[in-house]
Chain A
Amino acid sequence: MTAALLVLAIAGAIGVVVLSLRLARARREVQRHQRALESTLDRVEHIERAFQRFAPLEVVEQFAQGGAAHEPAYRQVTIMFADLKGFTPMSEQIEPQLMVDMLNGYFRAMNRALTEHHGHLSRLMGDGLMALFGAFDHNPWQAADAVRAALAMRAALAEYNRELAERRLPLLSFGVGINVGRAVAGVMGSDHLTEFTVIGDAVNLAARVEGLTRQHGVDILITEPVRAALDQRFVVRAMPATMVKGKTEPIVTFAVDSFEERSSAPADARA
C-alpha cells in the first residue's frame, strides 16, 4: 500500500515536473512570438512614419492595412514649384560628389522653411522641387502659408549662400512660382512606382509661373488667385501680363517683395 502510494507520488511529481517544463517552454515560445510581433509592429510604425512624408496619414494607414486604393478627389491646393537657376551648366564644372552635397544642403534648407509654414515637399525633380499646401490637411490659410514659406526659403537660401561663399563654392539662386486652385489629389503611378500627388491645370500653371521668374527677373512670383488670398502685410508688385503655354489669355503675376508683420499700409496700396 505504502509502496503504491510512493509510486503514485513519484509519478505525480514527475508529471508536475514534466508539465512545468512544458509550460515553461510554451511560455518561452509565446514570449518569442510576442517579441517578434512587437519588432514587426515597430518596423511597420517606422515605415508608416517614413511614408507620412509622402502621403496623408489616412492614405498611408489605408495602404498599411491592405485596404482598397485611396479614392482620388478634388481638393483646393496651393502648389509651389522652385527651381535653381543656372545649376545645370554650373553642375558640369563641379565634381559629382560636391554637386550632390550642395544640392542636399539646399534641399535640407528649403524643406525646413516649407515644414515651418505647413508645407509638404512633394517631389524632387533634379534641382527643382514641388511643394504642396493644403493637400494633406484642411488648411484655410494655404496660400498665405505658401508665400511665407517662399519668403523663408529666400532667407534660407541667402544663409546657405553665405556658407557656400565661405567654402569658395558657386552661389545659388532660385525661381519660385505659386498658384492656388482645384486639383485632383490621389495615389498615382504604376505597380513599380507610385506616389501621392496632385494633377490638373492649377499644377501646370504653377510650373509655368515658376518659369516666368527668369523672364521677369524676380525670384518669387504668384498668380492673381494667390494674391487675392493675401492681406496687406504682404508687399507685392504687379508684373506685365504674359502669355504662357496652355493658356489662351495672358497671365497676370505678382512679384513678392516682403512680409511686414504689423503693416499699416492700406489694402489698395498693394500692387
Chain B
Amino acid sequence: MAVLLGELEWLEKPLVGETTDPEWEKEVIASYGMMPAVLRRVASVPWARRAYFDLSRAGTKALSTGQSELAGFVTAQENACRYCYGIARTRMRMLGFTEEMVDRIENNARLAEADPEERELVKFCRNLARSKPRPSRAAREALESVGYSQLQTVELAWVTASASFCNRVSTLLAVPPELEMERSAPKQNLWSSLKAWLPGAAAPKPPPLGYPPPTATGMLGELVAVLQDSPGAAVLEATVKAAFEKTTLRRRTVCLMFAVVSHTLGSSFCAKASAEMLAAEGFSRSDLDEVLSTLASRSLDDVESRLLPWARDTVWLPEQPKRIQERTRPLQSLGDQALIEAVTVAALANSCVRLAMLLE
C-alpha cells in the first residue's frame, strides 16, 4: 500500500552537504558505472559510505536477479523512498534491463497477485519492510510452501533488510532524487543490443567485495550465522563491527539506539544483544529500563537525549517521507559527520531487527 511516486513529499534541501573524494568515486564508478549522489553525501564518513555501498551491492546466491530486483523494488516502494525508487530503475537499466523489463518488474510489484510465487514474495517483503507487526515464522513457511528454498527465504529477508537500510539513509538525509540520471541513463535499444556483441563491448565486471569469510562471532553473530551461505553474511558482519567500533558516536549511544529500535519492534533477540553490550559498557540495567520506558534518563548525555526519541521515530516511516525528514532536520546541529553516523546507525539497527525475524 505504498504512496504513489508522484505523490511523495520530499524535503527540497538535503540535510548534509556533498564531499568529493576522487579515489572513492573511482571505486564506485568501477562498480556502478555512475556516482550516485547519496554516496557523495555520506562520503565524509568512511565506514558509513562503505556500509551503504556494500549493502547495496552485496548480492545473493540463491535468488534470481529478477527476484532480487523485485524484492528491492517492493521495499523501496513500501518505504516510500523517492531516491531509491529512481535509482533502482536507473540501475536496472544500466545492468542491461530493457525499459520494457523495468516496467514489467515495476508492474509485477503491483500485479504480482496473478502468480502465487510472486504474490508471496511481494507480501513477505512488504510485511517485513513495514513490520507492523514483523512477519512471524508462519510468513517464512508460507514462502516455503510455494517453492522457495530456506536459503531463498533467508536471502529475501536479507534483500529487504539491506534495501531498507539504503532507503532509510537516503530518506533520513533527504538526498535529492537523481532526476538527471534517471532521465539520461542509457536505454536498451536495437543499437545497444547489437553493440553488445562487438569485441570489447562487454561491461567491465565489478570488482569483488573482498571481505574475509564471516566468523559469525561478536555482536549479532547469530544473525550473521543465519546468512552464512549468502554473500550478505560477510558484509553484515563487517558493517555491524564498523558501526560499533569506527563511529565517533559513543559506543553506548550506538547500543542504546539498537536497544530502542529493538524495543519498538519487539525483537527479543536484538533487545538481549543490545542489553548485553550496554552492560559491558557499564550502563546499568535500571538505567536501561528507564530509557526503554520513557525514552529519557538523567544518565543520558545530551546527544543521546536527542537521538533516542528520534531513533524510535525511524522505525515506522510515515506515509510521507517529508515528515521524518523534518523530524531529522533539528539534528543538523550535531554536524554533518555525527548526523550521517546517527542516520547510518538507525538504519542499520532497523535492518538488523527486521532481519532478526529469521531467529525468532
B251 within 8 A of A: no
Known contacts A37-B111, A144-B294, A262-B305, A45 near B4 by CB under 8 Å:
yes
B316 (CB) vs chain A CBs: closest residue: A137
B181 within 8 A of A: no
Q: CB < 8 Å: which of B4, B111, B130, B296 contacts A231?
A: B296
B266 within 8 A of A: yes
Known contacts A37-B111, A140-B293, A58 near B132 by CB under 8 Å:
yes
The 10 closest A-B pairs by CB, nearest first: A231-B294, A48-B1, A41-B110, A137-B132, A138-B266, A57-B132, A49-B1, A140-B263, A231-B296, A141-B295
Number of interface residues of A (CB under 8 A): 25
A85 within 8 A of B: no
B310 to chain A, nearest CB (A): 13
Contact in complex: B296, A233 (CB < 8 Å):
yes
Contact in complex: B1, A61 (CB < 8 Å):
yes
CB contacts (< 8 Å) of B91 on chain A: these are none
Binary B-proximity of A25-67 (CB < 8 A = 1, otherwise 0): 0000000000001100110010011001000111011000000
Q: CB < 8 Å: which of A49, A56, A262 contacts B319?
A: A49
B35 within 8 A of A: no
Q: CB < 8 Å: which of A42, A61, A138, A233 contacts B264?
A: A138
Which of under 10, 10 to 19, 20 to 34, or 35 or more describes the interface residues of B?
A: 20 to 34
A47 (CB) vs chain B CBs: closest residue: B1
By a beta-carbon cutoff of 8 Å, the part of chain B in contact with chain A is: 1-4, 107, 110-111, 130, 132-133, 263-266, 290, 292-296, 298, 305, 312, 316, 319
Q: CB < 8 Å: which of A60, A138, A140, A230 contacts B1?
A: A60
CB contacts (< 8 Å) of B266 on chain A: these are 138
CB contacts (< 8 Å) of A262 on chain B: these are 305
Per the bound structure, the CA–CA distance linking A136 and B132 in Å amounts to 9
Per the bound structure, the CA–CA distance linking A169 and B110 in Å amounts to 49
Per the bound structure, the CA–CA distance linking A140 and B292 in Å amounts to 8
By a beta-carbon cutoff of 8 Å, the part of chain A in contact with chain B is: 37-38, 41-42, 45, 48-49, 52, 56-58, 60-61, 136-138, 140-141, 144, 229-231, 233, 262, 264
* Residue contacts A-B, CB under 8 angstroms, 16 given: A38-B107, A41-B111, A45-B4, A48-B1, A49-B1, A56-B132, A57-B1, A137-B132, A140-B263, A140-B264, A140-B292, A140-B293, A141-B294, A229-B293, A233-B294, A264-B298
Per the bound structure, the CA–CA distance linking A264 and B297 in Å amounts to 10
A53 (CB) vs chain B CBs: closest residue: B319
Known contacts A231-B294, A231-B296, A233-B296, A45 near B132 by CB under 8 Å:
no
A40 to chain B, nearest CB (A): 11
B106 to chain A, nearest CB (A): 11
A161 to chain B, nearest CB (A): 25
Contact in complex: B312, A141 (CB < 8 Å):
yes
Contact in complex: B3, A49 (CB < 8 Å):
yes
CB contacts (< 8 Å) of A37 on chain B: these are 111
Known contacts A56-B132, A233-B296, A262-B305, A42 near B4 by CB under 8 Å:
yes
A65 (CB) vs chain B CBs: closest residue: B113
Of the listed residues A42, A56, A141, the one surrounded by the most CB atoms of chain B closer than 10 A to its CB is: A141
CB contacts (< 8 Å) of A230 on chain B: these are 294
Per the bound structure, the CA–CA distance linking A229 and B3 in Å amounts to 35
B2 (CB) vs chain A CBs: closest residue: A45
CB contacts (< 8 Å) of A42 on chain B: these are 4
CB contacts (< 8 Å) of A137 on chain B: these are 132, 316
Of the listed residues A58, A61, A138, the one surrounded by the most CB atoms of chain B closer than 10 A to its CB is: A138
